[in-house]
Amino acid sequence: MSDPVITPARPRRRLWLVALPLVVFLALAALFFSRLETGGDPSRIPSALVGKKAPVVSLPPLEGLKGPDGAPLPGIDLAALGGKPALVNVWASWCGPCREEHPILMQLGKDPRFSLVGINYKDAPDNARRFLGQFGLPYKAVGVDPKGRTAIEWGVYGVPETFVVSKDGTIVHKFVGPLTPEAVSNTLLPLMARLSGG
Q: pLDDT by residue (tens digit) across 117-172?
A: 999 999 999 999 999 999 999 999 999 999 999 999 999 999 999 999 999 999 99
Q: DSSP states of the chain as a string?
A: -PPPPPPTHHHHHHHHHHHHHHHHHHHHHHHHHHHHHTT--TT----TTTTSBPPP-EE-B-TT-B-TTSSBPP-EEGGGSTT--EEEEEE-TT-HHHHHHHHHHHHHTT-TTSEEEEEEES--HHHHHHHHHHH----SEEEEETTSHHHHHTT--SSSEEEEE-TTSBEEEEEES---HHHIIIIIHHHHHHHHT-
Q: pLDDT by residue (tens digit) across 24-45?
A: 677 666 655 554 444 444 444 4
For the question of whether the overall pTM of this predicted structure is more than 0.85, the answer is no
